[in-house]
Amino acid sequence: MSMALSVRAREVAPFLAMEVMERGMAMAREGSPVIQLGVGEPDFDAPPEAIAAATQSLACGETHYTDSRGLRELREAIAADCLRRRGVRVDPDQVLVTNGTSPAILLTLSVLVNPGDEVIMATPHYPCYPNMVAVCGGRSVLVPTRPEDGFLLDVDRVRAAITKRTKAILVASPANPTGTVQPREVVEALAALGVPLLSDEIYDGLVFEGSEVTSPLGMLDDCFVLDGFSKRYAMTGFRLGYVIAPKSAMRALQSLQQNLFISVAHFVQRAGVAALEHGQPHVDHMREVYDQRRRRLVEGVRALGFGVPRAPTGAFYVLADARHLGAGRRPDPSTDSASLSLAFDLLDRAHVALGPGRDFGEAAEGFLRFSYATSLDAIDEALGRLERALA
């Protein structure tokens, strides 16, 4: 007799980029070398000061619970970093430290969304956003963006999507999978709509061509900034994030944290303090290297015939139009997705793992996401393999 799973569990769709990555890992174990360009995993080490701080913390016996909101020292360091990067002064008591940015998003949605409520977001979008909204009983309202516009949000379309059930607008800048940085005028216009803004700024610091990330923090009272250490400091495995929230929401966030996660590991928080205090040269170096890779990948992808009307200016992704390769292609029977079929086909023939566009919403079907969070040598080898496979 099979177990009856909850409706919530059945509604959460698989993360398709992970599906492709995991098949590629299985191929590699069987002796077929696969180049992974489908996932956003920085190939840099964490700042050495962060590693040393975690090691020292463990050696000193800091292996017990902390305040559920996070170490006071870390929350003060995050507030100082907020002033330095965003130009906005926040009280450390407005900071809640979490086990990565995903729990920060889930906690924030949990304090805002009731069953049937709506959350507006741009699409193409990070796959987990709608799933998190659904877990909270809400509904995602997707506002399409266009590659020829650089995937910029149309504020008029956002305004038209607002209803009496709208609880928040979720904005990612720089965005996954598009690499789009929303300009100041767009962020200011969104802040003026009178709806709480959830600003996912996990890729802030990884911007190019003079782009600057504009945070809505300080523009309106009902603003939640979601951030962390995974991308900017290459600390994915540390699972360290945070939310900066209105004071009126902090008690509810803290109560949820206490019940669901208790607190973040003490030694990991020590690593976060060290990263904020000493990690900027590390970030500057990564950004310079990422920019070289970005230019090479965009050039190479275009040369292969993929459509990239505007080069991304943030994060480490290129969302490329591959619809010209999908003519007559049968969709993957398990997902009805031509882009997933194409991703698996290129994995089998070129041994290159790419992110299927369907992962990022219907607006990205027929596209493939390339990640340049890997070496120039790997990018060049992958482009060569794809050229031979596509020929």
Q: What is the pLDDT along the chain (391 residues), one digit of tens a residue?
A: 568 888 877 777 777 777 888 888 888 888 889 999 988 889 999 999 999 999 999 999 999 999 999 999 999 999 999 999 999 999 999 999 999 999 999 999 999 999 999 999 999 999 999 999 999 999 999 999 999 999 999 999 999 999 999 999 999 999 999 999 999 999 999 999 999 999 999 999 999 998 889 999 989 899 999 999 999 999 999 999 999 999 999 999 999 999 999 999 999 999 999 999 999 999 999 999 999 999 999 999 999 999 999 999 999 999 999 998 864 355 555 556 788 889 999 999 999 999 999 989 999 999 999 999 999 999 999 999 999 999 8
Q: How far apart are CA 265 and CA 270, in angstroms?
A: 9
Identify the pLDDT of residue 333. Answer: 53
Q: How far apart are CA 156 and CA 162, in angstroms?
A: 10
Query: pTM score, two decimals?
Result: 0.93
Based on the number of CB atoms within 10 Å of its own CB, is 26 exposed (0-12), middle (13-18) or buried (19 or more)?
A: exposed
Q: Could you tell me which of 313, 240, 265 has the C-alpha nearest to residue 77?
A: 240
DSSP string, 189-257: HHHTTSS-EEEE-TTTT-B-TT--PPP-BTTBSSEEEEEESTTTTS-GGG--EEEE--HHHHHHHHHHH
CB atoms within 10 A of CB 55: 13
- Residue 145, helix vs strand vs coil: coil
Q: Each residue of 14-68: pLDDT tens digit?
A: 777 778 888 888 888 888 899 999 888 899 999 999 999 999 999 999 999 999 9
Selecting from 2.40.50.140, 3.40.50.2000, 3.40.640.10, 3.90.1150.10, what CATH number does the domain 57-278 have? 3.40.640.10
Q: How far apart are CA 82 and CA 50, in angstroms?
A: 19
Give the CA distances from residue 382 to residues 37, 291, 309, 374, in Å, rounded to whole numbers and listed in that order: 8, 18, 21, 11
Q: How far apart are CA 235 and CA 265, in angstroms?
A: 14
For CA atoms 351, 354, 359, 362, give the dihedral sign: negative
Assign domain 7-45+282-390 to its CATH architecture: Alpha-Beta Complex (3.90)
Q: Each residue of 87-140: pLDDT tens digit?
A: 999 999 999 999 999 999 999 999 999 999 999 999 999 999 999 999 999 999
Q: How far apart are CA 370 and CA 36, in angstroms?
A: 9
Can you read off the two tokens belonging to residue 369? 């996401």
Every domain of the chain and the residues it spans:
7-45+282-390, 57-278
